[in-house]
Amino acid sequence: MPGGEGLGEIRGLLIVLSGPSGVGKGTILERASQRLPNLCHSISATTRPPRPTEEEGRNYFFRSPEQFEQMRQSGEFLEWARYLDYCYGTPRARVLERLREGRDVTLEIDVQGGKQVCAQFPDAVLIFVLPPSEEALRDRLLARNTESEEALDRRLRAHREECKHLADYDYAIINDRLEDAVELFCCIVRAEKARVRRLVRNE
Amino acid sequence: MPGGEGLGEIRGLLIVLSGPSGVGKGTILERASQRLPNLCHSISATTRPPRPTEEEGRNYFFRSPEQFEQMRQSGEFLEWARYLDYCYGTPRARVLERLREGRDVTLEIDVQGGKQVCAQFPDAVLIFVLPPSEEALRDRLLARNTESEEALDRRLRAHREECKHLADYDYAIINDRLEDAVELFCCIVRAEKARVRRLVRNE
Protein backbone atom coordinates (compact mmCIF):
# COMPACT_ATOMS: atom_id res chain seq x y z
CA MET A 1 0.00 0.00 0.00
CA PRO A 2 2.54 2.65 -1.08
CA GLY A 3 1.91 6.04 0.46
CA GLY A 4 -1.42 4.77 1.81
CA GLU A 5 -3.06 5.41 5.15
CA GLY A 6 -2.77 1.72 6.09
CA LEU A 7 -1.08 0.12 9.03
CA GLY A 8 2.38 0.29 7.49
CA GLU A 9 4.56 -2.75 7.43
CA ILE A 10 3.66 -4.82 10.47
CA ARG A 11 6.44 -7.27 11.17
CA GLY A 12 5.80 -8.19 14.79
CA LEU A 13 3.10 -10.39 16.25
CA LEU A 14 0.09 -8.81 17.97
CA ILE A 15 -1.01 -10.99 20.88
CA VAL A 16 -4.25 -10.49 22.80
CA LEU A 17 -4.51 -12.02 26.27
CA SER A 18 -7.94 -12.12 27.88
CA GLY A 19 -9.43 -13.85 30.89
CA PRO A 20 -10.88 -12.96 34.29
CA SER A 21 -9.07 -10.67 36.74
CA GLY A 22 -7.09 -12.75 39.18
CA VAL A 23 -6.42 -15.57 36.71
CA GLY A 24 -2.74 -14.61 36.38
CA LYS A 25 -2.50 -12.91 32.97
CA GLY A 26 -0.06 -10.29 34.23
CA THR A 27 2.22 -12.86 35.86
CA ILE A 28 2.22 -15.07 32.76
CA LEU A 29 3.24 -12.11 30.59
CA GLU A 30 5.93 -11.02 33.04
CA ARG A 31 7.52 -14.47 33.16
CA ALA A 32 7.16 -14.99 29.41
CA SER A 33 8.96 -11.68 28.74
CA GLN A 34 12.00 -13.04 30.57
CA ARG A 35 12.16 -15.90 28.07
CA LEU A 36 11.11 -14.06 24.94
CA PRO A 37 13.10 -10.83 24.79
CA ASN A 38 11.25 -9.70 21.67
CA LEU A 39 7.99 -9.47 23.60
CA CYS A 40 6.78 -6.10 24.86
CA HIS A 41 3.63 -5.25 26.72
CA SER A 42 1.25 -2.45 25.80
CA ILE A 43 0.27 -0.29 28.78
CA SER A 44 -3.45 0.53 28.82
CA ALA A 45 -5.05 3.77 29.88
CA THR A 46 -7.77 3.41 32.53
CA THR A 47 -10.16 5.45 34.61
CA ARG A 48 -9.79 2.96 37.46
CA PRO A 49 -7.90 4.35 40.47
CA PRO A 50 -4.50 2.71 41.11
CA ARG A 51 -4.21 -0.19 43.57
CA PRO A 52 -1.58 0.30 46.29
CA THR A 53 1.14 -1.58 44.36
CA GLU A 54 0.38 -0.06 40.95
CA GLU A 55 2.45 2.64 39.28
CA GLU A 56 1.62 5.22 36.61
CA GLY A 57 3.14 4.20 33.28
CA ARG A 58 4.21 0.78 34.50
CA ASN A 59 0.84 -0.91 35.18
CA TYR A 60 -1.48 1.63 33.58
CA PHE A 61 -1.78 5.21 32.47
CA PHE A 62 -4.28 6.42 35.06
CA ARG A 63 -6.60 9.02 33.55
CA SER A 64 -9.69 10.91 34.68
CA PRO A 65 -12.97 10.05 32.96
CA GLU A 66 -12.75 13.39 31.10
CA GLN A 67 -9.20 12.76 29.89
CA PHE A 68 -10.15 9.23 28.81
CA GLU A 69 -13.18 10.48 26.88
CA GLN A 70 -11.04 13.05 25.10
CA MET A 71 -8.52 10.38 24.06
CA ARG A 72 -11.35 8.16 22.84
CA GLN A 73 -12.94 10.95 20.79
CA SER A 74 -9.68 11.87 19.13
CA GLY A 75 -9.23 8.24 18.00
CA GLU A 76 -6.18 7.55 20.14
CA PHE A 77 -7.39 4.06 21.10
CA LEU A 78 -6.80 0.88 19.16
CA GLU A 79 -9.59 -0.60 21.27
CA TRP A 80 -11.42 0.47 24.37
CA ALA A 81 -14.05 -1.01 26.65
CA ARG A 82 -16.05 -0.32 29.75
CA TYR A 83 -15.53 -3.15 32.20
CA LEU A 84 -17.52 -3.12 35.43
CA ASP A 85 -17.27 0.53 36.63
CA TYR A 86 -14.26 1.69 34.66
CA CYS A 87 -12.96 2.31 31.16
CA TYR A 88 -9.84 0.76 29.67
CA GLY A 89 -8.18 1.61 26.37
CA THR A 90 -5.06 0.70 24.36
CA PRO A 91 -3.11 3.71 23.00
CA ARG A 92 -2.81 2.96 19.30
CA ALA A 93 0.35 4.85 18.22
CA ARG A 94 2.80 3.07 20.49
CA VAL A 95 1.51 -0.40 19.60
CA LEU A 96 1.81 0.22 15.86
CA GLU A 97 5.29 1.66 16.28
CA ARG A 98 6.48 -1.42 18.12
CA LEU A 99 4.92 -3.82 15.61
CA ARG A 100 6.63 -1.98 12.75
CA GLU A 101 9.94 -2.29 14.59
CA GLY A 102 9.34 -6.05 14.55
CA ARG A 103 8.55 -6.35 18.26
CA ASP A 104 5.83 -8.77 19.40
CA VAL A 105 3.25 -6.77 21.35
CA THR A 106 0.94 -8.17 24.03
CA LEU A 107 -2.39 -6.59 24.95
CA GLU A 108 -4.07 -7.59 28.20
CA ILE A 109 -7.66 -6.70 27.39
CA ASP A 110 -11.21 -8.00 27.80
CA VAL A 111 -13.35 -9.82 25.24
CA GLN A 112 -14.94 -6.62 23.91
CA GLY A 113 -11.47 -5.23 23.22
CA GLY A 114 -10.35 -8.55 21.74
CA LYS A 115 -13.16 -8.35 19.23
CA GLN A 116 -12.18 -4.81 18.18
CA VAL A 117 -8.53 -5.80 17.74
CA CYS A 118 -9.44 -8.87 15.72
CA ALA A 119 -11.55 -6.75 13.34
CA GLN A 120 -8.59 -4.42 12.68
CA PHE A 121 -5.81 -7.04 12.79
CA PRO A 122 -7.13 -10.36 11.47
CA ASP A 123 -3.62 -11.81 12.03
CA ALA A 124 -3.62 -11.06 15.75
CA VAL A 125 -3.28 -14.11 18.00
CA LEU A 126 -6.10 -14.34 20.57
CA ILE A 127 -5.40 -16.23 23.77
CA PHE A 128 -7.85 -16.79 26.61
CA VAL A 129 -6.54 -17.64 30.07
CA LEU A 130 -8.87 -19.75 32.20
CA PRO A 131 -8.73 -20.71 35.87
CA PRO A 132 -8.75 -24.45 36.59
CA SER A 133 -12.16 -23.86 38.23
CA GLU A 134 -14.38 -21.03 39.40
CA GLU A 135 -13.51 -21.88 43.02
CA ALA A 136 -9.82 -21.47 42.25
CA LEU A 137 -10.52 -18.06 40.74
CA ARG A 138 -12.53 -16.98 43.79
CA ASP A 139 -9.69 -18.03 46.08
CA ARG A 140 -7.18 -16.02 44.06
CA LEU A 141 -9.34 -12.91 44.10
CA LEU A 142 -9.83 -13.28 47.86
CA ALA A 143 -6.05 -13.62 48.33
CA ARG A 144 -5.59 -10.35 46.45
CA ASN A 145 -7.78 -8.85 49.18
CA THR A 146 -8.51 -5.58 47.46
CA GLU A 147 -12.26 -5.87 47.06
CA SER A 148 -15.52 -6.31 48.87
CA GLU A 149 -17.48 -9.57 48.69
CA GLU A 150 -19.96 -7.84 46.42
CA ALA A 151 -17.29 -6.62 44.00
CA LEU A 152 -15.90 -10.14 43.94
CA ASP A 153 -19.27 -11.62 43.01
CA ARG A 154 -19.56 -9.12 40.19
CA ARG A 155 -16.16 -10.19 38.88
CA LEU A 156 -17.19 -13.85 38.92
CA ARG A 157 -20.41 -13.05 37.07
CA ALA A 158 -18.43 -11.00 34.54
CA HIS A 159 -16.13 -13.99 34.09
CA ARG A 160 -19.04 -16.29 33.30
CA GLU A 161 -20.24 -13.80 30.72
CA GLU A 162 -16.77 -13.51 29.18
CA CYS A 163 -16.44 -17.28 28.88
CA LYS A 164 -19.27 -17.23 26.37
CA HIS A 165 -16.84 -15.56 23.96
CA LEU A 166 -14.20 -18.28 24.27
CA ALA A 167 -15.01 -19.57 20.79
CA ASP A 168 -13.84 -16.24 19.30
CA TYR A 169 -10.35 -16.97 20.60
CA ASP A 170 -7.56 -19.00 18.98
CA TYR A 171 -6.03 -20.61 22.05
CA ALA A 172 -6.99 -21.41 25.65
CA ILE A 173 -4.48 -21.65 28.46
CA ILE A 174 -5.70 -23.18 31.72
CA ASN A 175 -3.59 -21.59 34.44
CA ASP A 176 -3.33 -24.46 36.87
CA ARG A 177 0.45 -24.60 37.40
CA LEU A 178 1.95 -21.20 36.55
CA GLU A 179 5.12 -22.66 35.03
CA ASP A 180 3.07 -24.80 32.61
CA ALA A 181 0.95 -21.81 31.63
CA VAL A 182 4.05 -19.70 30.94
CA GLU A 183 5.58 -22.54 28.91
CA LEU A 184 2.42 -22.94 26.85
CA PHE A 185 2.20 -19.20 26.23
CA CYS A 186 5.81 -19.17 24.97
CA CYS A 187 5.08 -22.18 22.75
CA ILE A 188 2.09 -20.45 21.20
CA VAL A 189 4.18 -17.37 20.39
CA ARG A 190 7.02 -19.43 18.90
CA ALA A 191 4.64 -21.59 16.88
CA GLU A 192 2.74 -18.59 15.53
CA LYS A 193 6.00 -17.02 14.38
CA ALA A 194 6.71 -20.18 12.35
CA ARG A 195 3.39 -20.00 10.48
CA VAL A 196 3.97 -20.21 6.76
CA ARG A 197 1.49 -17.44 6.00
CA ARG A 198 3.44 -15.03 8.23
CA LEU A 199 6.84 -16.07 6.84
CA VAL A 200 5.71 -15.83 3.23
CA ARG A 201 4.25 -12.36 3.84
CA ASN A 202 7.37 -11.07 5.57
CA GLU A 203 9.74 -12.12 2.81
CA MET B 1 -22.46 -39.70 13.53
CA PRO B 2 -23.99 -42.68 15.42
CA GLY B 3 -23.35 -45.98 13.68
CA GLY B 4 -21.91 -44.08 10.71
CA GLU B 5 -19.06 -45.03 8.47
CA GLY B 6 -17.11 -41.91 9.46
CA LEU B 7 -13.71 -41.59 11.00
CA GLY B 8 -14.97 -42.31 14.50
CA GLU B 9 -14.04 -40.05 17.34
CA ILE B 10 -10.61 -38.64 16.56
CA ARG B 11 -9.08 -37.32 19.74
CA GLY B 12 -5.39 -37.19 18.87
CA LEU B 13 -3.56 -34.76 16.62
CA LEU B 14 -2.56 -35.81 13.11
CA ILE B 15 0.76 -34.20 12.20
CA VAL B 16 2.26 -34.25 8.71
CA LEU B 17 5.98 -33.63 8.37
CA SER B 18 7.33 -32.98 4.88
CA GLY B 19 10.60 -31.73 3.48
CA PRO B 20 13.53 -32.99 1.39
CA SER B 21 15.35 -36.22 2.22
CA GLY B 22 18.39 -35.45 4.32
CA VAL B 23 16.83 -32.40 5.99
CA GLY B 24 16.53 -34.22 9.31
CA LYS B 25 12.78 -35.02 9.59
CA GLY B 26 13.44 -38.43 11.12
CA THR B 27 15.86 -37.09 13.71
CA ILE B 28 13.50 -34.27 14.69
CA LEU B 29 10.67 -36.77 15.22
CA GLU B 30 12.88 -39.13 17.20
CA ARG B 31 14.06 -36.39 19.57
CA ALA B 32 10.59 -34.88 19.87
CA SER B 33 9.15 -38.27 20.87
CA GLN B 34 11.47 -38.31 23.86
CA ARG B 35 9.88 -35.08 25.08
CA LEU B 36 6.30 -35.72 24.03
CA PRO B 37 5.39 -39.23 25.14
CA ASN B 38 1.97 -39.01 23.53
CA LEU B 39 3.54 -38.80 20.07
CA CYS B 40 3.73 -41.88 17.90
CA HIS B 41 5.08 -42.28 14.42
CA SER B 42 3.27 -43.98 11.57
CA ILE B 43 5.47 -46.45 9.68
CA SER B 44 5.03 -46.16 5.90
CA ALA B 45 5.05 -48.98 3.38
CA THR B 46 7.51 -48.55 0.51
CA THR B 47 8.79 -50.30 -2.57
CA ARG B 48 12.24 -48.77 -1.98
CA PRO B 49 14.87 -51.36 -0.94
CA PRO B 50 16.15 -50.94 2.64
CA ARG B 51 19.34 -48.94 3.30
CA PRO B 52 21.97 -50.78 5.34
CA THR B 53 20.82 -49.32 8.68
CA GLU B 54 17.08 -49.68 8.06
CA GLU B 55 14.87 -52.36 9.57
CA GLU B 56 11.55 -53.86 8.48
CA GLY B 57 8.72 -52.50 10.66
CA ARG B 58 10.91 -49.94 12.38
CA ASN B 59 11.81 -47.61 9.49
CA TYR B 60 9.42 -48.91 6.85
CA PHE B 61 7.37 -51.89 5.82
CA PHE B 62 9.36 -52.96 2.76
CA ARG B 63 7.05 -54.35 0.08
CA SER B 64 7.41 -55.52 -3.49
CA PRO B 65 5.77 -53.38 -6.20
CA GLU B 66 3.10 -56.10 -6.55
CA GLN B 67 2.34 -56.19 -2.83
CA PHE B 68 2.21 -52.39 -2.70
CA GLU B 69 -0.19 -52.23 -5.65
CA GLN B 70 -2.47 -54.76 -4.00
CA MET B 71 -2.56 -52.73 -0.78
CA ARG B 72 -3.29 -49.59 -2.76
CA GLN B 73 -6.14 -51.21 -4.70
CA SER B 74 -7.79 -52.57 -1.59
CA GLY B 75 -7.84 -49.06 -0.09
CA GLU B 76 -5.40 -49.78 2.71
CA PHE B 77 -3.59 -46.45 2.30
CA LEU B 78 -4.55 -43.17 3.92
CA GLU B 79 -2.29 -41.55 1.32
CA TRP B 80 0.26 -42.80 -1.12
CA ALA B 81 2.69 -41.26 -3.59
CA ARG B 82 5.34 -42.11 -6.11
CA TYR B 83 8.51 -40.23 -5.23
CA LEU B 84 11.47 -40.51 -7.59
CA ASP B 85 11.63 -44.27 -8.43
CA TYR B 86 9.61 -45.69 -5.57
CA CYS B 87 6.16 -45.75 -4.00
CA TYR B 88 5.37 -44.81 -0.42
CA GLY B 89 2.08 -45.25 1.44
CA THR B 90 0.60 -44.77 4.91
CA PRO B 91 -1.39 -47.77 6.20
CA ARG B 92 -4.73 -46.26 7.20
CA ALA B 93 -6.07 -48.61 9.89
CA ARG B 94 -3.26 -48.20 12.38
CA VAL B 95 -3.24 -44.39 12.14
CA LEU B 96 -6.98 -44.14 12.80
CA GLU B 97 -6.75 -46.55 15.70
CA ARG B 98 -4.04 -44.48 17.37
CA LEU B 99 -5.88 -41.20 16.81
CA ARG B 100 -9.01 -42.68 18.38
CA GLU B 101 -6.96 -43.75 21.39
CA GLY B 102 -5.99 -40.08 21.76
CA ARG B 103 -2.41 -40.50 20.58
CA ASP B 104 -0.82 -37.80 18.41
CA VAL B 105 0.32 -39.42 15.18
CA THR B 106 3.13 -38.15 12.94
CA LEU B 107 3.36 -38.92 9.23
CA GLU B 108 6.65 -38.33 7.42
CA ILE B 109 5.40 -37.95 3.85
CA ASP B 110 5.91 -35.85 0.74
CA VAL B 111 3.81 -32.94 -0.53
CA GLN B 112 1.55 -35.14 -2.67
CA GLY B 113 0.74 -37.22 0.41
CA GLY B 114 0.31 -34.09 2.53
CA LYS B 115 -2.36 -32.87 0.13
CA GLN B 116 -4.27 -36.16 0.33
CA VAL B 117 -4.16 -36.16 4.13
CA CYS B 118 -5.33 -32.55 4.32
CA ALA B 119 -8.34 -33.35 2.10
CA GLN B 120 -9.42 -36.16 4.43
CA PHE B 121 -8.41 -34.53 7.74
CA PRO B 122 -8.83 -30.76 7.49
CA ASP B 123 -7.68 -30.54 11.12
CA ALA B 124 -4.31 -32.14 10.43
CA VAL B 125 -1.29 -29.97 11.21
CA LEU B 126 1.04 -29.62 8.21
CA ILE B 127 4.70 -28.84 8.92
CA PHE B 128 7.41 -28.35 6.30
CA VAL B 129 11.06 -28.78 7.31
CA LEU B 130 13.52 -26.71 5.32
CA PRO B 131 17.31 -26.78 5.18
CA PRO B 132 19.03 -23.48 6.00
CA SER B 133 20.22 -23.45 2.36
CA GLU B 134 20.41 -25.76 -0.65
CA GLU B 135 24.16 -26.11 -0.10
CA ALA B 136 23.56 -27.32 3.45
CA LEU B 137 21.13 -29.92 2.11
CA ARG B 138 23.62 -31.10 -0.49
CA ASP B 139 26.30 -31.50 2.18
CA ARG B 140 23.99 -33.56 4.35
CA LEU B 141 23.02 -35.85 1.49
CA LEU B 142 26.70 -36.29 0.60
CA ALA B 143 27.50 -37.15 4.23
CA ARG B 144 24.83 -39.85 4.12
CA ASN B 145 26.89 -41.32 1.28
CA THR B 146 24.28 -43.73 -0.02
CA GLU B 147 23.74 -42.30 -3.48
CA SER B 148 25.41 -41.42 -6.74
CA GLU B 149 26.01 -37.80 -7.77
CA GLU B 150 23.18 -38.16 -10.27
CA ALA B 151 20.68 -39.43 -7.69
CA LEU B 152 21.69 -36.54 -5.45
CA ASP B 153 20.97 -33.99 -8.17
CA ARG B 154 17.56 -35.55 -8.70
CA ARG B 155 16.82 -35.17 -4.99
CA LEU B 156 17.79 -31.51 -5.06
CA ARG B 157 15.59 -30.90 -8.09
CA ALA B 158 12.72 -32.72 -6.37
CA HIS B 159 13.24 -30.49 -3.34
CA ARG B 160 12.96 -27.33 -5.45
CA GLU B 161 9.69 -28.69 -6.88
CA GLU B 162 8.39 -29.53 -3.41
CA CYS B 163 9.16 -26.05 -2.10
CA LYS B 164 6.54 -24.68 -4.47
CA HIS B 165 3.94 -26.32 -2.24
CA LEU B 166 5.15 -24.62 0.93
CA ALA B 167 2.12 -22.32 0.96
CA ASP B 168 -0.15 -25.38 1.46
CA TYR B 169 1.54 -26.00 4.80
CA ASP B 170 0.72 -24.48 8.20
CA TYR B 171 4.21 -24.18 9.64
CA ALA B 172 7.80 -24.06 8.42
CA ILE B 173 10.75 -25.24 10.50
CA ILE B 174 14.22 -24.29 9.27
CA ASN B 175 16.52 -27.02 10.51
CA ASP B 176 19.66 -25.04 11.16
CA ARG B 177 20.45 -26.09 14.74
CA LEU B 178 18.81 -29.45 15.44
CA GLU B 179 17.96 -28.59 19.06
CA ASP B 180 16.09 -25.45 17.96
CA ALA B 181 14.20 -27.38 15.31
CA VAL B 182 13.13 -30.03 17.86
CA GLU B 183 12.09 -27.31 20.31
CA LEU B 184 10.01 -25.55 17.66
CA PHE B 185 8.37 -28.82 16.60
CA CYS B 186 7.38 -29.53 20.22
CA CYS B 187 6.04 -25.97 20.59
CA ILE B 188 3.88 -26.36 17.51
CA VAL B 189 2.39 -29.60 18.85
CA ARG B 190 1.71 -28.09 22.29
CA ALA B 191 0.22 -24.92 20.82
CA GLU B 192 -2.02 -26.86 18.42
CA LYS B 193 -3.36 -28.93 21.32
CA ALA B 194 -4.37 -25.69 23.08
CA ARG B 195 -6.43 -24.47 20.10
CA VAL B 196 -9.91 -23.51 21.23
CA ARG B 197 -11.57 -25.22 18.26
CA ARG B 198 -9.97 -28.54 19.22
CA LEU B 199 -10.78 -28.16 22.93
CA VAL B 200 -14.39 -27.19 22.27
CA ARG B 201 -14.87 -30.14 19.91
CA ASN B 202 -13.38 -32.62 22.36
CA GLU B 203 -15.61 -31.60 25.25
Ranking A79-93, A179-193, B113-127, B144-158 by mean pLDDT, the lowest is: B144-158
Set of chain A residues whose Cβ sits within 8 Å of the Cβ of B167: 196-197, 200
- Among A36, A187, A189, A202, most B C-beta atoms within 10 A, so best to mutate, is A187
> Three-class SS of residue B40?
strand
Which one of B167, B190, B192 has the shortest CB-CB distance to A196? B167
Q: What is the mean predicted confidence (pLDDT) over B8-26?
A: 89
Shortest CA gap A115–chain B (Å): 16
Closest Cα in chain B, distance from residue A131 (Å)? 14
ipTM score assigned to the predicted complex = 0.86
Smallest Cα distance from B47 to chain A, Å: 32
Contact A186 B191 (CB under 8 A): no
- Reported as a single tens digit per residue, the pLDDT across A134-159 is 888 888 888 876 778 888 888 888 88
CA distance A28 to A12: 20
Sort B157 into a burial class: Cβ within 10 Å, 0-12 / 13-18 / 19+.
Answer: exposed
Are β-strands A60-62 and A44-46 bridged in parallel, bridged antiparallel, or unpaired?
parallel
Using an 8 Å CB-CB cutoff, list chain B residues near A187.
186-188, 190-191
| The predicted structure's pLDDT at residue B184 | 98
Interface test with chain B among A196, A198, A201, A202, by most B beta carbons within 10 Å: A196
Do the Cβ atoms of B191 and A195 come within 8 Å?
no
pLDDT of A2 > 70? The answer is no
Q: Do B171 and A186 touch (CB under 8 A)?
A: no
Mean pLDDT, residues A114-131 taken together: 95
Look at residue A72 in the predicted model and tell me its pLDDT.
Answer: 96
Q: Which of B167, B194, B197 is the closest to A184 by Cβ?
A: B194
The rounded distance, in Å, linking the Cα atoms of B130 and A44 is 40
Question: A62 to chain B, minimum CA–CA distance in Å?
Answer: 33
Interface test with B, best of A171, A183, A189 (most B CBs within 10 A): A171
A14-202, CATH topology level: Rossmann fold (3.40.50)
Q: Residue A196 is nearest to which of B172, B190, B199, comparing CB atoms?
A: B172
Confidence label for A98 from pLDDT (cuts 50, 70 and 90): very high
Q: Which residues of A touch B194 (CB under 8 A)?
A: 171-173, 184, 188
Listed in sequence order, the residues at least 6 apart from A185 whose beta carbon sits closer than 8 Å to its beta carbon are A28, A29, A32, A127, A173
A120-124, A125-129, B1-5, range with greatest mean pLDDT: A125-129
Q: What is the 3-state secondary structure (H, E, C) of B120-181?
A: HCCCCEEEEEECCCHHHHHHHHHHHCCCCHHHHHHHHHHHHHHHCCHHHCCEEEECCCHHHH
Q: Which of A172, A186, A195 sits opposite B196 (nearest CB)?
A: A172
* pLDDT for residue A203: 53
Q: Is the pLDDT of residue B68 over 90?
A: yes
CA distance B30 to B129: 14
Gap between the Cα atoms of A123 and A117, Å rounded: 10
Query: Do B171 and A194 count as a contact with CB atoms less than 8 A apart?
Result: yes
To test the contact with chain A by mutation, choose from B125, B164, B166, B196 the residue with the greatest count of A C-beta atoms within 10 A, namely B196
* Averaged pLDDT, B106-125: 94
